[in-house]
C-alpha cells in the first residue's frame, strides 16, 4: 500500500494484524455455547467434586485433547456426543456459577467486549435444579465473571441466550423462560442439536410465541443440512439471525469469469441483512466446510453479507475469538479494517437495545480499532550509531 500523502510504502505483511493486536482488538461474540467452553481443569475438578466417574481422561491437558479429537469426526451427531461429559458436570448451582464466571473471565481476557452465550437449561436438571434455578445460577456466574474481568482490567458484557434442543419437545417452555427473564440477563432464544431430521418448524409454537412477545431468536440452520433448513428458519419461523448458515453458499453461483449470481434465498438473506453467525473451526470439525481457505466466509464477506465471526465451542475446537481471527487473517489476509467490519456487523446484530449497540460501536469498538490502527505511528525505530 502506498500512502497518498508521503509516498511511503507499507508491506502487506505489516498491514496484517499480529496475534497480539488480534487479542487486544475489541471483539463481539454472538455464538458461543456455555457447555462447549469449559476449562479442562474445571471439568476435572467438577467431576471429582460431584462424583462423575465417566470422564474419558482425568488429567486436564489430556482431557482437553480428548475433546478436540473426539469432536473432529466430520459429523455433527458425533461432535454433539462430547457434550454429555460437559453437561454431566454442570448439574449443581455452584458448578453452573463457576462455569459461567470462568466463561466471562476467559472471553474478557481474550478481548471480547460483548458476548451472547447460549446453553440449554433443560440439560441441567439431572440433580434436582429447576429451570429457573439454572438460569439464575448462570446469570449469577456471568455477573461474577464480569466483576472479576473488571478487576483484572478488562471490560465485558455478557448476555444469555436460552437454547431448546431440537430433538426434544420443550421449546415453548424454554421460550417462555427466556421471555420471563428478558429483563434479567437473558437476551434471546435459540434452538440447537442435530439438524437433519429435526426441522425448526417442529417448534413453530415457540417461535410464534416469541414473535407475539416482540422477543428475539436465532436458529441453528444450514450447518449439517442445506437450504431448506435456512429457508424454514427464516420464512416459516421468522429467525432474527442464523446460527452458522454456511450452506447459503449452495444458493450462490460463481461463474468462471468471477461473476456471481444469487438465488432467491441468498438474495433475501443479503438484502434483509440477515446476520450469519459463522464458526469456521467448528465447521471444519463437523464437515460443514472443507478447510479455512475454502470456508464460505471468504466469499460471503466479499459479497457483503452480514457476516460475523464466532467460536461455537471453544473447548471442542481448542479455539478462542482471537484464534478464529488468526486463522482468517492467515487464510484471507484480513486487516484490522476487516476485523472491525466483522465486529461492527456482530454488534449491529446483537439482541440488546439499539441505543446500547450504537454506544458499543461508537464508544468502544471504533475507538479500540482506531487505537490499534494508529500504533505504527509511534513505533520506535532502532537507534543506529
Q: Which residues bind ligand NOS (CB under 6 A)?
A: 33, 35-36, 76, 80, 83, 87, 118-120, 123, 163, 192-193, 220, 223, 282, 312-313
**Annotated binding-site residue? 193:** yes
Residue 226's binding partner among Zn ion, ligand NOS, none (Cβ under 5 to 8 angstroms by kind) is none
C-alpha separations of 384 from 9, 381 in Å: 22, 9
Distance CA 169, CA 56 (A): 30
Residue nearest Zn ion by beta-carbon distance:
312
35 is in an annotated binding site: yes
The CA distance from 326 to 203, in Å, is: 37
| SS3 (DSSP) at 258 | coil
For 140, other C-beta atoms within 10 Å of its C-beta total: 16
Asked whether residue 94 is marked as a ligand-binding residue, the answer is no
CB of 193 to ligand NOS, least distance (A): 5
How near is the Cβ of 87 to ligand NOS at its closest, in Å? 6
**Shorter beta-carbon distance to ligand NOS: residue 162 or 347:** 162
Q: Which is nearer to Zn ion, 1 or 84 (CB)?
A: 84
Residues identified as active-site: 223
The answer to whether the CB of 158 falls within 8 A of the CB of 146 is yes
Q: Residue 197 and residue 142: Cα distance in Å, rounded? A: 34
> In 10 A of CB 256, how many CB atoms?
5
What DSSP element (H or E) covers 149?
helix 131-151
Nearer CB in complex with ligand NOS: 182/220: 220
Tell the smallest beta-carbon distance from residue 312 to Zn ion (Å): 5
The answer to whether 31 and 277 have CB atoms below 8 angstroms apart is yes
Sorted by sequence, the CB contacts under 8 Å of residue 233 that are 6+ apart come out as 200, 219, 221, 222, 239, 242
Contacted by 270, from Zn ion, ligand NOS, none: CB < 5 to 8 Å by type: none
Residues 308-347 that bind Zn ion (CB under 5 A): 312
CB of 215 to ligand NOS, least distance (A): 19
Which residue numbers belong to the known binding site for Zn(2+)? 31, 33, 220, 312
Cite the annotated binding site for substrate by residue number. 33, 35, 193
Can you say which residues are annotated as belonging to the binding site? 31, 33, 35, 193, 220, 312
Which residues are near Zn ion by CB under 5 A?
312
Amino acid at each position: 500500500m502506498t500512502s497518498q500523502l508521503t509516498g511511503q510504502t507499507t508491506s502487506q505483511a505489516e498491514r496484517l494484524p499480529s496475534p497480539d493486536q488480534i487479542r487486544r482488538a475489541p471483539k463481539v461474540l454472538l455464538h458461543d455455547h456455555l457447555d462447549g467452553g469449559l476449562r479442562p481443569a474445571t471439568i476435572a475438578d467438577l467431576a471429582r467434586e460431584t462424583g462423575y466417574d465417566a470422564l474419558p481422561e482425568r488429567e486436564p491437558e489430556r482431557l482437553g485433547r480428548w475433546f478436540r479429537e473426539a469432536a473432529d469426526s466430520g459429523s455433527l451427531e458425533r461432535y454433539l456426543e462430547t457434550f454429555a461429559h460437559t453437561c454431566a458436570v454442570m448439574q449443581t448451582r455452584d458448578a453452573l456459577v463457576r462455569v459461567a464466571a470462568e466463561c466471562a473471565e476467559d472471553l474478557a481476557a481474550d478481548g471480547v467486549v460483548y458476548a451472547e452465550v447460549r446453553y440449554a437449561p433443560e440439560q441441567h436438571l439431572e440433580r434436582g435444579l429447576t429451570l429457573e434455578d439454572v438460569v439464575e445460577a448462570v446469570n449469577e456466574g456471568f455477573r461474577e465473571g464480569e466483576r472479576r474481568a473488571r478487576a483484572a482490567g478488562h471490560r465485558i458484557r455478557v448476555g444469555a441466550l436460552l437454547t431448546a434442543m431440537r430433538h426434544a419437545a420443550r421449546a415453548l417452555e424454554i421460550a417462555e423462560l427466556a421471555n420471563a427473564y428478558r429483563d434479567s440477563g437473558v437476551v434471546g432464544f435459540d434452538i440447537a442439536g442435530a439438524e437433519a431430521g429435526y426441522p425448526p418448524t417442529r417448534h413453530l409454537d415457540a417461535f410464534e410465541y416469541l414473535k407475539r412477545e416482540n422477543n428475539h431468536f436465532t436458529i441453528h440452520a444450514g450447518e449439517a443440512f442445506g437450504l431448506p433448513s435456512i429457508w424454514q428458519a427464516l420464512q416459516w419461523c421468522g429467525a432474527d439471525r442464523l446460527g452458522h448458515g454456511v450452506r447459503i453458499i449452495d444458493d450462490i453461483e460463481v461463474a468462471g469469469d468471477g461473476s456471481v449470481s444469487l438465488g432467491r434465498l441468498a438474495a433475501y438473506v443479503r438484502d434483509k441483512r440477515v446476520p450469519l453467525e459463522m464458526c469456521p473451526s467448528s465447521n471444519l470439525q463437523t464437515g460443514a466446510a472443507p478447510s479455512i481457505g475454502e470456508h464460505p466466509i471468504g466469499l460471503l464477506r466479499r459479497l457483503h453479507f452480514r457476516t460475523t465471526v464466532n467460536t461455537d465451542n471453544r473447548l471442542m475446537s481448542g479455539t478462542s475469538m482471537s484464534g478464529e481471527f488468526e486463522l482468517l487473517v492467515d487464510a484471507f489476509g484480513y486487516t484490522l479494517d476487516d476485523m472491525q467490519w466483522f465486529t461492527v456487523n456482530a454488534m449491529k446484530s446483537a439482541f440488546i437495545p439499539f441505543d446500547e449497540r450504537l454506544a458499543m460501536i461508537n464508544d468502544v469498538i471504533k475507538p479500540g480499532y482506531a487505537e490499534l490502527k494508529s500504533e505504527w505511528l509511534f513505533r520506535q525505530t532502532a537507534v543506529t550509531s
